[in-house]
Structure formats: structure tokens, C-alpha cells
Amino acid sequence: MCWLSAIHLEIYPLKTMVKIGDTLNDIREGLNAGMWTIGLTRTGNELGLSVDEVKAVDDDHLESLLGEVASKFNQEGAHFVVQSLADCPDIITRIDRRLAMGQHP
């Protein structure tokens, strides 16, 4: 999907793009396409809880669950792992700086 989207949007190179996802398959897809990847822990499928369920979970237990999800994303090779989409603008800025220094995923 990443490749197809880039082709349709006529955007390249893929090393300047970011795949943000909430599943391990999202991370794999981004990595296979040569993109930066960001895994979402709190607001995603990998955690598997609704907003109401997250609110109902004890804070310590929630932190443990989020840690497990983060660990899965890190093991899969995600470049960054954050809790929600709201955390991504800062990560995009960091990626922009790394690109400016000649780094790529």
C-alpha cells in the first residue's frame, strides 16, 4: 500500500516519507517500503482497548500494557514509538532534522 500510494501521489523518494501505524503489519509495511515508521501504542489496534476501556484500566496496569505494545513495535524495528497521533508532529520534526543531516531509514 505504501508503494502504491506513493506512485499514485507521485511522491518520492520513499525514504522521505513516514508510515504511522497501530499494528505490527503497519510497521512491516513501512520498513519494507524504505520509509520511517512510527508505532502508536495507546490509540491503536495493538493495544486493543476502546477509549472507555483505557479510562477504566488502572494506571499501573495501563503503563504495563503500553510497555508491552511498545516492546512489540521496537522488536519489529519501528524507528519511533509514541502513544498517539498527537505525539507525531515532534517526531516528524526529528525526522526532518535527520534527513537534513543525510540520514535515512
Residue type, 72: K
List domains and CATH numbers for the chain.
Answer: 2-100 (3.40.50.1000)
d(CA 37, CA 104): 11
d(CA 45, CA 69): 10
- Residue 85 pLDDT class (50, 70, 90 cuts): very high
In the predicted model, is pLDDT for residue 104 greater than 90? yes
pLDDT digits (tens, 9 = 90+) for 7-60: 898 988 999 999 999 999 999 999 999 999 999 999 889 999 998 999 999 999
